[in-house]
Amino acid sequence: MGKFGNPDFDLFQLPEEHEALREAIRALSEKEIAPYAKEVDEKARFPEEARAALVANGFNAVHVPEQFEGQGADSLAACIVIEEVARVDVSASLIPAVNKLGTMGLILSGSDELKAKVLPSIASGEAMASYALSEREAGSDAAAMKTRARKDGNTWVINGSKCWITNGGQSSWYTVMAVTDPDKGANGISAFMVHKDDEGFTVGPLEHKLGIKGSPTAELYFENCTIPEDRIIGDEGTGFKTALATLDHTRPTIGAQAVGVAQGALDAAIAYVKERKQFGKTISQFQGVEFMIADMAMKVEAARLMVYAAASRAERGAGPLGFISSASKCMASDVAMEVTTDAVQLFGGAGYTTDFPVERMMRDAKITQIYEGTNQVQRMVMARALLRG
């Protein structure tokens, strides 16, 4: 694996602290997360072992600022953590990834008082956070959401539902988008922090999924859900802008997740073809296999470079992030699907069984092309950034 990374640094070499971080999270992942990945997938259970290991070693939410009892790690460091966990188990990687997604809007736009109420518990691992934007009829068209919030004295009252909520039921805090002024369209959407114990909030049924089975995906219901007025994130009517800004910062983390699962599949494929024998020699000696491995590795390295570049730009606040953020997520997830599929092919019939991890990796990789904006939507975002400035 190359040392491509932050363009702020000469020769694209990562700083020593980032390389040390990679070594630490990789060792932890291989020792304390990988052994449970198969069971987590087969039983569709939450990876409690992974959560415990990540929390114990401070990798569950490295992005939380030091001011709020976190490590204050930069965007690239967060991507490296997610990448290395996803290399062995994509479901487990959604713990640090969704903790960032669920708190990024708060970090970008929330009051210090609200940050102080929420972020320390996320940093310590006492709580997790999720992001609630999508609805059944408002997926890619998020501005079409129907969930409403109205002011009632010194409280907000929320009614509606959300779907496809990653880690729903496991999280304590939820960033929820709701319409506060239906006459203003996207400018009438506001963002709120809802706690699992708030009156009128319930977690609905879980989805039964192709992959990431260890990460629960749930519906959320708000029935006169009442929260204090200071739980609004930023000013009223700025929620949609907060949602878009959040995704600009978190789409590279999905790219990192995709790079991780692709790297894991590539590693497994290389090990397998060097051992598997046909026609009196290992299949790694056949040119067709050599070309497949070369193409897989080339794509993974290219995707990694784009993800790291996007993370670095997000950290620096270097210009509009829409294009590079969407491009990194889109390219990396397409690569993940290609590489994991090729890995299954290289394993042959064995790759189609659950005896080896590549079939799980292929199933897990698919979601990276869908969530946080389908890759069709990513291409729309990129094209509009190029054509409309």
| Residue 16, pLDDT score | 92
The answer to whether 372 and 328 have CB atoms below 8 angstroms apart is: no
- pLDDT interval class at 8 (50, 70, 90): very low
| Residue 143, pLDDT score | 84
| Residue 194, pLDDT score | 98
How far is residue 156's CA from residue 276's CA, in Å, rounded to a whole number?
A: 62
224: alpha, beta or left? (left if phi > 0; alpha if psi -120 to 50): left
Residue 151 — φ and ψ, nearest 5°?
Answer: -80, 135
Burial 248-260 (b: 16+ CB within 10 A, else e): bbbbbbbbbbbbb
Q: Is the pLDDT of residue 166 over 50?
A: yes
| Residue 139, pLDDT score | 85
| Residue 132, pLDDT score | 98
How many CA atoms does the CB half-sphere of 346 hold within 13 Å? 36
Q: Is the pLDDT of residue 7 over 80?
A: no
Q: Cα separations (Å) of 286 from 172, 281, 297, 365? A: 52, 9, 17, 27
| Residue 14, pLDDT score | 87
- pLDDT interval class at 5 (50, 70, 90): very low
Give kind and range of the element (H or E) at residue 192. strand 189-195
The answer to whether 283 and 276 have CB atoms below 8 angstroms apart is: yes
The answer to whether 28 and 53 have CB atoms below 8 angstroms apart is: yes
- pLDDT interval class at 318 (50, 70, 90): confident
| Residue 33, pLDDT score | 98
pLDDT in tens, 278-315: 999 999 999 999 999 999 999 999 999 999 999 999 88
Q: What is the DSSP string of 301-351?
A: HHHHHHHHHHHHHHHHT-S--HHHHHHHHHHHHHHHHHHHHHHHHHHGGGG
Q: Cα separations (Å) of 49 from 85, 209, 213? A: 13, 21, 15
pLDDT in tens, 51-82: 999 999 999 999 999 999 999 999 999 999 99
| Residue 45, pLDDT score | 98
Tell me which CATH code domain 129-237 carries. 2.40.110.10
- The fraction of the chain above a pLDDT of 90, given in percent, is 93
Q: Averaged over 134-144, what is the pLDDT? A: 90
Q: What is the DSSP string of 23-87?
A: HHHHHHIIIIIHHHHHHHHHHT---HHHHHHHHHTT-S-TTS-GGGTS----HHHHHHHHHHHHT
Catalytic residues: 372
| Residue 208, pLDDT score | 98
70: alpha, beta or left? (left if phi > 0; alpha if psi -120 to 50): beta
- The fraction of the chain above a pLDDT of 70, given in percent, is 97
The answer to whether 299 and 67 have CB atoms below 8 angstroms apart is: no
DSSP state of 154: T
| Residue 63, pLDDT score | 98
How far is residue 322's CA from residue 378's CA, in Å, rounded to a whole number?
A: 9
How far is residue 338's CA from residue 297's CA, in Å, rounded to a whole number?
A: 11
Q: Is the pLDDT of residue 11 over 50?
A: no
Give kind and range of the element (H or E) at residue 243. helix 239-273
- pLDDT interval class at 10 (50, 70, 90): very low
- pLDDT interval class at 320 (50, 70, 90): confident
Domains 129-237 and 240-388 in one fold: no
How far is residue 66's CA from residue 74's CA, in Å, rounded to a whole number?
A: 11
Question: What are the residues whose beta carbons fall under 8 Å from the beta carbon of 57, sequence distance 6 or more?
Answer: 24, 28
Helix (H, G, I), strand (E, B), or coil: what is residue 237?
coil
Q: Averaged over 12-21, what is the pLDDT? A: 89
Give kind and range of the element (H or E) at residue 217. strand 217-228
Q: Averaged over 356-373, what is the pLDDT? A: 98
| Residue 3, pLDDT score | 35
pLDDT in tens, 104-125: 999 999 999 999 999 999 999 9
- pLDDT interval class at 12 (50, 70, 90): low
pLDDT in tens, 213-264: 999 999 999 999 999 999 999 999 999 999 999 999 999 999 999 999 999 9
Helix, strand and coil in the chain, % to nearest 5:
60, 15, 25
The answer to whether 296 and 266 have CB atoms below 8 angstroms apart is: yes
The CATH fold of domain 10-124: Butyryl-Coa Dehydrogenase, subunit A; domain 1 (1.10.540)
Q: What is the CA radius of gyration of the chain?
A: 21
Average pLDDT score, the chain: 95
DSSP state of 180: S
Q: Is the pLDDT of residue 389 over 80?
A: no
So where are the chain's domains? 10-124, 129-237, 240-388
Tally of CB atoms within 10 A around 189: 27
pLDDT in tens, 253-285: 999 999 999 999 999 999 999 999 999 999 999
In words, the CATH class of domain 240-388 is mainly alpha
| Residue 388, pLDDT score | 87
Q: Is the pLDDT of residue 368 over 60?
A: yes
How far is residue 376's CA from residue 303's CA, in Å, rounded to a whole number?
A: 18
| Residue 4, pLDDT score | 33
